[in-house]
């Protein structure tokens, strides 16, 4: 058996392992030229010996008329993504009748895009344990993704897909050709908006047709994600530069006793001093509280300490962008999430930001250094977080600092993912991500 046959038969075995008391609907997704039709046909052949009826069709049999497909213009990527297919007919004539509680009376086609005319496909009646295989682009759009009981995304680089299309007489092989703009950019929009690699049951790299490779998703290996905060999903933190108006913040909180220079000296003096000592290993488990720092390093008046702590926190705390908050909410549906973060002020302002962003309840544990005397890279904080999860949990720690996040997590035996927009590797990081936003789609080589 060739490597390709092994992959095809592995997918067939997965499908046959699903409950056979109802119809199994299978979607084969991928860019143009990814090899969807060929893969689907070979999968059909591999399933036939099971004795179950295999119903084979394509989303291309449910195109919209030309006037709808090109109503936004012949070069429009949005038109390619939004107007190519008649999803109402696809679901009404095929997917719903073959779904749970459906009539099992279906039609394989509704439109011939080559003649730009409707077709009247005969009505057929499926057996209760049939297997439907549909190939086509955009199969993991929100209006379709829930219909698939099993789905495959065939991953190929755009230039490879276009080269294959050109070899069969469909357009230019150049991804930058004007004639390809509609299709290349439309597919990019699909990948960004619908994230098919996060939804598909299986991702297969199909660039080498003789040697396709199953691409395991990084997230599929883990049940728990422990996260750093600053630079991982919170940004714009630690605003302690010389141009910051600390006095305006002080006044906004109702402060009147201190002048601008006094407030600046207290906040900046405390910050610079605590920044210096936080780098020394002897302080990793004996770090002062913010109130102690304001007293010790800035000589702040005792009566003003609570207000100065609020000022400090306002400049220390960052902001959670909406796309990161949405990501954490999605991740919480499939994984337990935890937080291990260094902050110097009390945690309440950060909890308020979590609440504003709608993620307060998605984090199963929240370990802040200001709750005690330890700061990362001390293993104390990591161990405190680990106590919140079963001992046999499969845990991935994700952070942006090699020294404070990745190295101590690795020392405790945790798998690690380093957030490094530059992309360079490190021997102590198991994985390197350009941002946390990439984690859903990340596949292992």
Per-residue tokens: 397: 């720690």
Domain ranges of the chain: 3-215, 224-232+319-438, 246-316
Candidate CATH numbers 3.40.50.300, 3.10.130.10, 3.20.20.480, 3.30.470.10; the one for domain 3-215:
3.40.50.300
SS3 track for 236-259: CCCCCCCCCCHHHHHHHCCCCCCC
The Cα–Cα gap between 310 and 316 comes to: 10
CA distance readout (Å), 360 to 314, 330, 353: 19, 14, 8
Look at residue 445 in the predicted model and tell me its pLDDT.
66
Q: What is the percentage of the chain residues whose pLDDT exceeds 70?
A: 100
Q: Residue 96 has what DSSP assignment?
A: T
**How far, in Å, CA of 182 to CA of 437, rounded?**
26
Q: Do domains 3-215 and 224-232+319-438 have the same CATH topology?
A: yes
Calpha distance 335→338 (Å, rounded) = 10
> What number is the average pLDDT over the span 412-432?
91
Q: Is the pLDDT of residue 321 over 80?
A: yes
Q: Token digits for 126?
A: 């499926």
> Which residues, 6+ apart, have CB-to-CB distance to 405 below 8 Å?
228, 340, 376, 377, 397, 398, 399, 416, 418
Closest by CA position to 61, among listed 120, 21, 5, 4: 120
Global pTM value: 0.79
268-318 pLDDT tens trace? 999 999 999 999 999 999 999 999 999 999 888 999 999 999 999 999 999
pLDDT surpassing 80 at residue 444: no
Q: What is the pLDDT of residues 154-181, one digit of tens each?
A: 999 999 999 999 898 888 889 889 999 9
Condensed to tens digits (0 to 9), the pLDDT of residues 86-137 reads: 999 999 999 999 999 999 999 999 999 999 999 999 999 999 999 999 999 9
Task: Report the distance separating Cα 237 and Cα 342, nearest Å.
Answer: 12
User: CA–CA separation, 201 vs 13, rounded Å?
Assistant: 14
Tokens 């056979």 sit on residue? 20
pLDDT, mean of residues 333-362: 97
- pLDDT score of 404 more than 70: yes
Longest dimension (CA), the chain: 87
Is residue 443 pLDDT above 90, yes or no?
no
The span from the first CA to the last CA of the chain, in angstroms, equals 23
CATH of 224-232+319-438, one of 3.40.50.1000, 2.60.40.10, 3.40.50.1820, 2.40.50.100: 3.40.50.1000
Q: Are 45 and 150 in contact (CB under 8 A)?
A: no
Q: Residues 349-359: what's their mean pLDDT?
A: 98
CB 398 within 8 A of CB 439: yes
Query: DSSP letter at 403?
Result: I
């Amino acid at each position: 058996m060739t490597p390709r046959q092994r992959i095809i038969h592995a997918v067939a075995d997965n499908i046959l392992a699903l409950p056979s008391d109802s119809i199994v609907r299978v979607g084969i997704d991928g860019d143009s030229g990814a090899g969807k039709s060929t893969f689907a046909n070979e999968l059909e052949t591999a399933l036939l010996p099971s004795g179950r009826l295999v119903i084979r069709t394509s989303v291309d049999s449910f195109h919209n008329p030309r006037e709808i497909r090109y109503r936004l213009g012949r070069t429009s990527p949005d038109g390619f993504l939004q107007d190519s297919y008649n999803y109402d007919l696809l679901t009404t004539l095929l997917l719903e009748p073959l779904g749970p509680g459906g009539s099992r009376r279906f039609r394989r086609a509704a439109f011939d895009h080559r003649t730009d005319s409707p077709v009247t496909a005969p009505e057929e009646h499926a057996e209760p344990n049939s297997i439907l295989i549909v190939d086509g682009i955009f199969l993991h759009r929100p209006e379709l993704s829930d219909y698939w009981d099993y789905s495959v995304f065939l991953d190929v680089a755009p230039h490879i897909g276009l080269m294959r299309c050109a070899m069969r007489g469909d357009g230019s092989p150049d991804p930058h050709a004007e004639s390809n703009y509609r299709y290349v950019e439309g597919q990019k929009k699909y990948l960004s908006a619908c994230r098919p690699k996060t939804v598909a049951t299986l991702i297969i790299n199909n660039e080498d047709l003789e040697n396709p490779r199953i691409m395991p998703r990084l997230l599929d290996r883990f049940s728990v994600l422990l996260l750093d905060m600053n630079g991982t999903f919170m940004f714009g933190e630690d605003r302690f530069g010389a141009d910051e108006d600390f006095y305006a913040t002080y006044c906004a909180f109702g402060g009147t006793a201190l002048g601008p220079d006094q407030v600046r000296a207290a906040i900046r003096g405390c910050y610079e001093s605590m920044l210096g000592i936080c780098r020394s290993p002897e302080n990793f488990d004996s770090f002062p509280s913010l109130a102690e720092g304001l007293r010790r390093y800035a000589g702040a008046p005792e009566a003003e300490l609570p207000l100065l702590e609020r000022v400090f926190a306002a400049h220390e705390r960052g902001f959670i962008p909406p796309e990161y908050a949405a990501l954490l909410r999605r991740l919480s549906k499939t994984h337990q999430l935890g937080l291990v973060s260094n902050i110097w002020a009390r945690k309440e302002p950060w909890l308020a930001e979590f609440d504003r962003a709608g993620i307060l309840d998605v984090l199963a544990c929240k370990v802040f250094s200001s709750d005690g005397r330890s700061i990362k890279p001390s293993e104390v904080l990591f161990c405190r977080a680990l106590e919140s999860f079963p001992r046999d949990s499969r845990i991935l720690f994700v952070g942006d600092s090699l020294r404070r996040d990745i190295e101590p997590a690795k020392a405790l035996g945790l798998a690690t993912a380093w957030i490094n927009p530059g992309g360079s590797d490190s021997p102590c990081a198991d994985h390197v991500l350009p941002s946390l936003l990439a984690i859903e789609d990340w596949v292992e080589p």
